[in-house]
Chain A
Amino acid sequence: MSPAAAPIRLVNLTLGYDRRPAVHHLDGVIAPGEALAVCGPNGAGKSTLLKGLAGLLAPLGGAIDRGGLPPRDIAYLPQVVEIDRSFPIDVFDFAALGAARRAGLFGGLGRAETARVEAAIGAVGLVGFEDRALDTLSGGQMQRALFARLIVQDLPVILLDEPFGAIDEAAIEDLLALIAQWGREGRTVVAVLHELDLARRAFPRTLLLAREAIVWGATEEALSPAPLARAREMGEAYDREARECRRDESLRERADAL
């Protein structure tokens, strides 16, 4: 792993589109080596938060302090991967793209990188599929190929958006083992999860999000009935006539008055 993971601090973070916040005034710290699940109802801002962490979306307010880690050192697996699967590339070459950062746009792969790609393909259980074209893979096999590329990338922070969408039970076991392995290696993993059971099984800490943090803490506490009910209530509130948010100013005024 190239650079070490640092704590990621969210300071009064607001993320959104067209001035409308999808994540509203979020504060918290993701410790290095932590496995954090992000759960919440539809429209809670989970994917938006990941995009922000990946550096693909500039904050509307507040800040993300990645501890000096540039966004390029953060691996990101989007929920809907905009990959044209009819592109003529096989599984080995696809996984090897994870090494493009180290090999550069011009350099060759070399023996060490080739071994790394082979190991990654083995780790996700795609041995024997190296020569298969992407459009001959099933949905679950494609997801495994994407994980192989993540392994080859070898980055200290890994963001996963709904990584278990179209995957069978056996594959989920493999990938959860992989995530646990990443934790032991000191990598930070942040995963948006739809199935709360998966969060309870493999992620010690959870952020329950409904635009604002309902609970950010130990998983069993965050995913207990009371916070979950509150998250559902706050979930899909969408105000057509929303006024400008004055929360920052009122905070400042209160601070001035003190």
Chain B
Amino acid sequence: MLFDLLLQPFLDYGFMRRALVGAAALALAGSPLGVFLILRRMSLAGDALSHAILPGAALGYLIAGLSLPAMTLGGLAAGLVVAMLAGAVARFTALREDASLAAFYLLSLALGVTLVSLKGSSVDLLHVLFGSALALDDAALLLLAGVATVTLFALALFYRALVMDTLDPIFLRQTTRLGGLAPFLFLTLVVLNLVAGFHALGTLMAVGLIMLPAASARLWTRDLAAALPLAAALGAGAAYTGLVFSYHSGTPAGPAIVLAAGLAYSASLVFGPAGGLTRLRRPSRHLEG
């Protein structure tokens, strides 16, 4: 019975196994990035960048139809352009990064919707926005796994630079000449994961899988080295739970996965020892020193 419920869908259907591998790959690499996004107070930047990807993907779609390489390259280019422009505007003008990012992603989104409507129907738009986790082909799986691999290696290699840039960017820039590149490296990784994620879950849902497990993990531990793997595990767990729920209830997979991550987030809000609500219920006697 339990076996039927939890394992049978994946044993019976190849598309379920593919969906699980793809979503898990995105969670393993994306959720740790989400932890850094939260620490940098850029929680909404992921959302903004995911919108920014749209015109690039739409352009690829206009030129080559529903082709993975074209839409990926287009999305990657658009995401990077917006991220770099926002960073440059923040550096060289009076606007801060959040304001410039908001401006560019709104423009980008408007451009994307216009481009999609030029050719496609609203069904196509829904596909781009919400993805199709249950229709991942080999190329999409390879892209997801490749991006996850690159991201995890980059995180491991540049961990110290990312920590220093998040904590004290001026100090990093004084320590090493390459310090100014750290924010760009980080944003590139975020865009890469969003682009890979929008095939599995769609642009909107990919952000959910990046941010929700990260926010949950921060509520369980104050230790960054523990929060990163915890976020990855929570994300992979949400991918699995969401797929099982989606299979049995006949609901779309992407939203189901994000809802599963949201369930874990709600539980963390209440029970998380490093910032959850129960923390407020302290023992009545305080310590001696």
Inter-chain contact A87/B160, CB cutoff 8 Å: no
Q: Note all chain B residues with C-beta closer than 8 A to A78.
A: 170
What is the CB-to-nearest-CB distance from B35 to chain A, in angstroms, rounded to a whole number? 10
What's the Cα separation between A225 and B177 when bound, in Å?
A: 44
- B170 and A100 contact, CB distance less than 8 A: no
Contacts A54-B174, A72-B177, A89-B224 given; does A100 touch B168 at CB 8 Å: no
Question: Which B residues touch A105, using CB under 8 A?
Answer: 158, 160-161, 176, 178
Q: Which residues of B contact A76 (CB under 8 A)?
A: 170, 174
Query: Whole-angstrom distance from the CB of A96 to the nearest CB of chain B?
Result: 10
Please measure, in the bound complex, the distance between the C-alpha atom of A54 and the C-alpha atom of B166, giving whole angstroms.
21
Chain A residues lying within 8 Å of B39, measured Cβ to Cβ, are 84, 87-88
B228 CB to nearest chain A CB (Å): 11
Closest to B218 in A: A88
In the complex, A105 Cα to B165 Cα: how many Å?
12
A106 within 8 A of B: yes
The number of chain B residues touching the other chain, given as a range, is 20 to 34
Question: Which residues of chain A have C-beta atoms less than 8 A from B161's C-beta?
Answer: 105
Contact assessment for B174 and A72 in the assembled complex, using a CB-CB cutoff below 8 Å:
yes
B171 at the interface (CB under 8 A from A): yes
**Which residues of A sit under 8 angstroms from B222, Cβ to Cβ?**
88, 133
A56 CB–B CB distance under 8 Å: yes
B269 at the interface (CB under 8 A from A): no
> Which residue in chain A gives the minimum CB-CB distance to B182?
A105
Q: A56–B223 Cα gap in the complex (Å)?
A: 32
Contact B166 A88 (CB under 8 A): no
> Is B102 on the interface with A (CB-CB < 8 A)?
no
Complex interface: chain A residues within 8 A of B158 (CB): 105
B164 at the interface (CB under 8 A from A): yes
Q: Which residues of A contact B178 (CB under 8 A)?
A: 105
What is the CA–CA distance of A74 and B173 in the complex, to the nearest angstrom?
12
B175 adjacent to chain A (CB < 8 Å): yes
* B160 in complex: contacting residue of A82, A100, A133, CB < 8 Å: A100
Asked whether B6 is an interface residue with its Cβ less than 8 Å from the other chain, the reply is no
- Which A residues touch B167, using CB under 8 A? 83-84, 87, 89, 94, 97
Chain A contacts for B287, CB-based, 8 A:
none
Residues from chain A with a CB closer than 8 A to the CB of B224 are 88-89
Q: In the complex, what's the smallest C-beta–C-beta distance from B131 to chain A, in angstroms?
A: 33
Point out which of B161, B163, B169, B178 has the most chain A C-beta atoms below 10 A from its C-beta.
B163
Give Cα A149–Cα B172 distance, bound, in whole angstroms.
Answer: 13
Which residues in window 184-234 of B have CB below 8 A to A?
A: 222-224, 227
CA distance A185 to B108 in the complex (A): 57
- CB-CB contacts below 8 Å: A81-128 with B: 81-84, 87-89, 94, 97, 100-101, 105-106
A87 to B223, CA, bound (A): 10
B1 in the interface (beta carbon within 8 A)? no
Quote the shortest CB–CB distance from A243 to chain B (angstroms).
25
Asked if B157 lies at the interface with its beta carbon under 8 angstroms from chain A, I say yes
Interface string of A167-206 (1 = CB under 8 A from B): 0000000000000000000000000000000000000000
When distances are taken between beta carbons in the complex, the residues of chain A under 8 Å from B223 are 88
A199 to B257, CA, bound (A): 62
Per the bound structure, the CA–CA distance linking A88 and B223 in Å amounts to 6
A139 touches B (CB below 8 Å): no
Task: Give CA–CA (A228, B174) in the complex, Å.
Answer: 34
**Chain B residues within 8 Å of A74, by CB:** 174
CB of B193 to closest CB in A, whole Å: 22
Most buried by B among A81, A94, A100, A106: A100
Q: Say yes or no: B163 contacts A89, CB within 8 Å.
A: yes
Contact B170 A82 (CB under 8 A): yes
Q: List chain B residues, Cβ under 8 A from A88.
A: 39, 222-224, 227
Across-interface contacts of A149 in B (CB, < 8 A): 171
A53 CB, min distance to chain B CBs, angstroms: 12
Q: Who on chain B is nearest to A75 by CB? A: B174
Residues of B contacting A87 in the complex (Cβ-Cβ under 8 angstroms): 39, 166-167
> Once the chains bind, are A81 and B157 in contact (CB under 8 Å)?
no
Q: How far is the CB of B155 from chain A (nearest CB, A)?
A: 13
Q: Which residues of the other chain, B, contact A56 by a CB distance below 8 angstroms?
A: 170
Residues of A that sit less than 8 Å from B by CB: 54, 56, 71-72, 74-76, 78, 81-84, 87-89, 94, 97, 100-101, 105-106, 133, 149
A/B interface sample: 19 pairs, CB < 8 A: A74-B174, A76-B170, A82-B168, A83-B167, A84-B41, A84-B166, A88-B39, A88-B224, A88-B227, A89-B163, A89-B224, A100-B160, A100-B172, A100-B176, A101-B176, A105-B158, A106-B157, A106-B160, A133-B222
Starting from the known contacts A105-B158, A106-B160, 10 additional A-B residue pairs (CB-CB under 8 Å) come to A72-B177, A75-B174, A76-B174, A81-B168, A84-B41, A84-B167, A87-B166, A88-B39, A100-B176, A101-B175
CB-based closest 4 A-B pairs: A88-B224, A87-B167, A88-B222, A105-B161
